[in-house]
Amino acid sequence: MNPATTHQCPAGIANAVAQAVRYQGRKASRQGSELRRQEILDAAMRVVVRDGVRGVRHRAVAAEAGVPLSATTYYFKDIDDLLSDTFAQYVERSAAFMAKLWENTEVLLRQLLAEDDGSQAARARLADAIARMTADYVQRQLRSRRNHLMAEQAFRQEALRNPRLAELVASHERILLQGARRLLEVLGSRDPQEDAQLLTAIIGRMEYQGLLRPESPQPDAHLSLLVRFMHLVLGAA
């Protein structure tokens, strides 16, 4: 596996998305003002997780943040700006998280590829290992980033009506899609773009089902499906 250029590697893609995020609300001029603005955005995210996007109102967010109502209207002239910047911050933070994840994954991937001697048995072991890594990722998301996933689902629904959010959703999807495409390309997929679309769709469905039925995480079923998929992709079936 040759090192990818910064703009091609998954971590580079995630970092590029983070740097491209643009905020709509009033910019803070001092550190204290920026901290308050962050508190408002964090409070808005908690409201989204608890009450959904429709629960985001200036008064509700101000109460959640413990700031005067005038503070929210100072930084965000309307609810669209507040929602857009709340999700922009989510995308920016998610991109930073994914950049680190891709870096760590690439290290593991190099180790796994070093053990691949080209035999069918080695390809099967590689497929199994990648499937386990992906299944573990889904379970970690559901355990430790549940609120993030809840917010993401809420914003995806609202993006059907809000063009600003639709652009941010597309940027967020690009992080996982292009990262998956690059890794599948390195693994030897015949069509890494289509396979990445299938893989991210599978992950998205698993996350949604895990949110919908938290009492039934189904890690074994997830692993079984991912093993089958990776064996097909890597020609190890």
CA gap 122, 188 in Å, rounded:
13
| pLDDT at residue number 65 | 96
Architecture of domain 26-76 in this structure: Orthogonal Bundle (1.10)
Q: Which residues of 56-66 are buried (b: 16+ CB within 10 A; e: fewer)?
A: bebebbbebbe
pLDDT reading at 210 higher than 80: yes
For 183, the 3-state DSSP assignment is helix
Which residues, other chains included, contact 150 with Cβ-Cβ below 8 Å and sequence gap of 6+? 48, 49, 211
Sign of CA dihedral 149, 135, 186, 181: negative
Averaged pLDDT of the chain: 87
Instruction: Tell me the helices (H) and strands (E) count for the chain, helix number first.
Output: 10, 0
Q: Which CATH superfamily is domain 10-22+90-233 in?
A: Tetracycline Repressor, domain 2 (1.10.357.10)
Q: Give 109-142 pLDDT, tens digit per residue.
A: 888 888 878 788 888 999 999 999 999 999 999 9
Helix/strand/coil (H/E/C) assignment for every residue in 24-91: CCCCCCCHHHHHHHHHHHHHHHHHHHHHCHHHCCHHHHHHHHCCCHHHHHHHCCCHHHHHHHHHHHHH
Please state the domain extents for the chain: 10-22+90-233, 26-76
pTM for the model stands at: 0.84
| Fold matches, 10-22+90-233 and 26-76 | no
